Structures are given as structure tokens and as C-alpha cells.
Structure 1
Amino acid sequence: MNGLNWTNDGPDLIVHGDNLPALEQLPDASFRLIYLDPPFNTGRPQKRQTITTVRSATGTRVGFKGRSYDTIKGTLYGYDDSFADYWEFLEPRLLEAWRLLDDRGTLYLHLDYREAHYAKVVLDALFGRECFLNEIIWAYDYGARATKRWPSKHDTILVYVKNPATYYFDNEAVDREPYMAPGLVTPEKAERGKLPTDVWWHTIVSPTGKEKTGYATQKPEGVLRRIVQASSAPGDWVLDFFAGSGTTGAVAGKLGRRFMLVDANPDAIEVMRSRLGSAEVVTLG
């Protein structure tokens, strides 16, 4: 296997390979923030295909003012989200995350309702219950349309710190959000906005928006921006070893943080290489 030869004064890095052996090559306490968005164990393939529309005199789609368009299908990105023993897969990687956090570090583990309650038990054991900081609910406005139960419209992000006495958290650095009832606060407060709570209302990545990469399960930059702002400072190293479309790196780079992204999926590496052109790409093999 090619070594990573990682140092904290090196370049931003995209690593193509199995994340567990990659993590085992890294020194203890190397990262201030780790964000993980592992497969949710849905039991089904996850796919997303990019779609582009272009003006055409003979197009099959009709849009604004009767103009004609052709639809062009792009690359299909996907992965198999099914594990016979999900926690046998995930637990050793969470243990590595604990080892790699520095004394002021924080882990954000992003899951949905299928595994979040099991994750809380596992993380209590690995980190200690005293290191639990928050359960964040990310609520969104698109997705399931269930008719025989309440539709699932949220994910859970569990937040654990390495050391409850020394962890880094700067809520003043976080972008503020509008008050839901601005008339109940002073005009000054309404203009400034309020600090977010542990319930985050944020839309998914728009299928037709500028932010989209076409990668399945891509998370919006707004959610990662809040995480990176609060739990790291400029110059700190951020790690995501289920990197997917590279949103963590995109946000970290814009906010002046350093980043390492790891993924075994060639589609993910292709997307990240295009999205994060300044990062160095290393293949483990």
C-alpha cells in the first residue's frame, strides 16, 4: 500500500481507497473536526443522475413562453447502501475517529432514523456519555411521501467531543438565522438574527441548483458551513472519510480550514477532483 505521508503543513488531500487502512496510517490527535456521513444502511442502491436542459428548436420539452428544450442525461453516480452487519463495519471506523481527534476536537456523525439510536449507544461507549454534546435534527422539505405513516423529513447528527473540558466551540462565528416571529423581539435583534438551536431547517440540494454535483446523497453546503464554523477555526484540519461529493472539503476550503477527504468510490473521487481542483489526490493500493 502506498503511504499517505501526511503532515499538518501539507496540502489539502483527497484519498482514494478503503478508509480504515487509510486512517490507521495517520497520527493521533491530527484533526480538530471530523464530519461523517456514512451510508445509512437503507438496504437499497443509492443513485442520482445529472440532467441538463438546453435550448433547441426541435426540443421535446416546452418551457417558459413556449420555448423548446432538449434534456441531456449526464453521469449516473451511485453506490450499494446495504450491509449485513452495519456496526461491524462502522464501529472500528468510529474508534479511529476518536483517536484522530485532538484534545479540542469534535465529531459530527450524520445518520437517519434507521441507525441513529444504535449510534448513540455505540458512541456513548467509545467516547463516554460525558462527551455527548448534542443531537442535531436537520429537517428538510423534500423527500418521502408516505401515506401510512408520518413521512420521514429529517436526519440526525450526533455530536461528541474528545474532551468535555477543553473542546472548541464558537457559536458567535456561526451565520445567524431569521427569527420566526421577528415582531416579538426588538428591531435590533430582528436585524441581527438569532443563533441556531439544535433543530436546523435547511432545504436539500436542489436538483437544478448551482450547488448540485449529481452525486447520490449529496449534502447541502449550508449544513456543513454551520458545523465547520462552530467547531473549527481558520487553519484547523477537518477530516471526512465518507467524503462522497466532497461538500465538507468545499466548505472547509471556503472558510480557510485545511481538509482531508477519503472515499473508496471512484465516482466520488471523480466528483471531488472536479469540485476541489486545488487538492492533491492520492490513491492507496
Structure 2
Amino acid sequence: MDVHRLGNVVIEGDNLAVIREMPDAAFRLIYLDPPFNTGRTQTRRTSTSTRVTDSGRVGFKGARYEQVVEKVTSYDDRFADYWEFLEPRLEEAWRLLSEDGTLYLHLDFREVHYAKVLLDALFGRECFLNEIVWAYDYGARSKKKWPAKHDTILVYVKDPSSYYFNSEDVDREPYMAPGLVTPEKAARGKLPTDVWWHTIVSPTGKEKTGYATQKPLGILRRIIQASSRPGDTVLDFFAGSGTTGVAASQLGRSFVLVDQNPQAIEVMRSRLPEAEFINWPDR
């Protein structure tokens, strides 16, 4: 599959089968928002496997990777099931990244601590770039614990000596105390840190599509602005409502989106009229 000739494309099908057909080092930026392991029923295989160094599949980092996977999944059987689903897809993401490429993995508090340990082993700890905290303030509040009002986005690069990053092009944030800076700085706004204060998609706002896990356009714009160049092709193979494609199109990037949920495909057809829709494997 020549992804650069596809242009703006949405592929309907199993994402693992699709991405295995894509060429090495094809993307500077990959954003993934996989289903969170919330404890609710997931439509995927849930069989626990035991990995051993001498006979198991060896990952990119060799025996060390195998040992880390074995230890973490042995600690939590529930996570072992989830990781069995996610792990091969992250291996493919590593393969698909260009040498100056960046992966953004969007998770919540239930899995992010496991995922970071495993990604350190898969990519190499030196390839960890950031842990972005997306904080929001909306919805119900628990009275039995501190309410969970953030997601985490783990950022890993293929090569820590040559990754692309351009913070100057990102949408800026207002200063929390604008009176403490010059009027010029206040008007321009400040560069974001690794804590992003951004509202969720409002249930009554114009951006809302009705898709349950839709992410705000502002979050994807910032990621794409910082870690890709105009003309690049961005990959998202848990595409959901297609926000990655909308942001990429607005910013002069192409996109390749993959999802097998019919509801997601329907939403993306309405949001991305410029896209070509392909049924996999009937391409």
C-alpha cells in the first residue's frame, strides 16, 4: 500500500490487518486513542498468554522487552488481556514511524502506568519525550474520592536525536495572570506546557457529533502542529469520530484513518467529505 498516493483516506476494516500492509517509516506522526480498559465488556478476544524469554516472541528490544511484558502482565491478568490486544498494534506503530517520527498514545488513568513501562521497553526509555496531562472540568463529580478529570497522552519518538518538534506553530493559551506580562505577550498568549487545560467536547456545542469518545479538535490541532509539517500524512488507526482527519485537513496535512465501527465510519463520512472511503479488504 502506497499511503502517500492515497491522499485523504478512511479505511473501514480491522486496523491490525490494514496497518500490516503499510510500508515501513511511512509517517512522521501517529496519534492513537484506543478503547480504554474500563472493565466494561470489550468486543475483542480476551485470552491470557504467558510470555517466556526462551520461547516467546521477541520484541524490538529483545529479551529485556520480553521480561518487562512478562512481569507486568503477570502482575495484572486483566491488563494482560488488554495488552494482548494493544501490543501488536503498537509494534506496528513503531515500524510505521519515520526516523524523525512521533507517537502520541492517548489513555486514561486505568492503563497509562502499565503502558508507560511497556513502551519504555518497546521503544527504549530514551525515546520517551513527554507525558501530557489533558485536564478538563466537566461532568459528574464523585464524593467518595477526588474526581477523575484528566486523560494522559504518552509521547514517544522513534529516534531521540532526530525527531521533529515545532512548538512555535502551536495554538497558544491565554495567560492565567495576563496582568503580569506585557500587553504584547498577553495578546499573543503563552506556549503550552505538558499540562493542557481544554474543555471536553460540549454535549450542546457545534463540534459535537454524537460519537461517545469524540476528542476535542483543539487537542488534535496542537499535536499535529507540533509534530508534523504541512504536507505530511498523519495516521490514526483508532479513528473514531475522525477528529484527527478534521484537524489535519485544517492544517494542510493529509490523513489516513482506520476504524471498523460502522458508527464511526458514518460520522466520518459527514465530517470528512473530501476523504476517499475504502472497504478493507475489498480495496
CA distance in 2 between counterparts of 1:199 and 1:81 reads 32
The equivalent residue for 2:88 is 92
1:224 aligns to what SS in structure 2?
Answer: helix
Q: CA deviation at 1:136?
A: 0.3
Does residue 263 (structure 1) correspond to residue 249 (structure 2)? The answer is: no
Alignment pair present for 1:198 and 2:194: yes
Q: How far did 1:165 drift?
A: 0.7
> What CA RMSD, in Å, does the superposition of the two structures yield over aligned residues?
1.5
Flag structure 2 segments of 5+ consecutive residues without an equivalent: 47-77
Shift of 1:11: 2.1
Shift of 1:10: 2.7
Asked if residue 124 in structure 1 is aligned to residue 120 in structure 2, the reply is yes
1:230-249 counterparts in 2 under 5 A? Answer: 230-249=226-245
| Cross-structure match for 2:210 | 214
| Paired amino acid for 1:194 | K
Residues 178-225 of structure 1 deviation map (CA, whole Å, 9 limit, x = unaligned): 111112122222122110000000001011111111001100000100
The Cα offsets for residues 125-161 of structure 1, whole Å up to 9 and x where unpaired, read as 1110000000000001113411110000000000000
Pairs within 5 Å for 1:270-281: 270-281=266-277
Greater share of residues in helix:
2
Do the aligned residues in 2 keep the contact of 1:237 with 1:260 (CA within 8 Å)?
Answer: yes
The normalised TM-score by structure 2 is 0.85
Q: For residue 82 of structure 1, report the CA deviation from its aligned partner.
A: 9.8
Identical positions, percent: 74
- Alignment match of 2:38 (pick from 10, 34, 42): 42
- The structure that is strand-richer by fraction is 1
Aligned to 1:75: none
Aligned partners of 2:230 and 2:43: how far apart in 1? 35
Structure 2 counterpart of 1:111, which letter? L
AA aligned to 2:134 is: W
Aligned residue number for residue 149 of structure 1: 145
In structure 1, runs of 5+ residues without a counterpart are 46-78
From 16, 23, 26, the counterpart of 1:20: 16
Counterpart secondary structure, 1:86: helix
Distance 1:221 1:10 in 2: 23
Structure 1, residues 99-150: CA drift from partner, whole Å, max 9, x if none? Answer: 0000111000000000000010111011100000000000011134111100
Question: Equivalents in 2 of 1:143, 1:38: separation in Å?
Answer: 22
What SS does the aligned partner of 1:157 have? strand
CA distance in 1, matches of 2:7, 2:182: 46
Question: Which segment is superposed worse, 109-118 or 174-183?
Answer: 174-183
Q: Does 1:187 align with 2:144?
A: no
Which has the higher Rg, Structure 1 or Structure 2? 1
Find the residue that maps to 2:255 and give its secondary structure: strand
Instruction: Sort the Cα spacing of 1:99 and 1:121 in 2 relative to 1 into closer, same or farther, 3 A.
Output: same
| 2:165 matched residue in structure 1 | 169
Question: What letter matches 1:41 in structure 2?
Answer: N
1:250 lines up with 2:217 in the alignment: no
Partner Cα distance (1:232, 1:130) in 2: 21
**Partner amino acid for 2:178?**
P
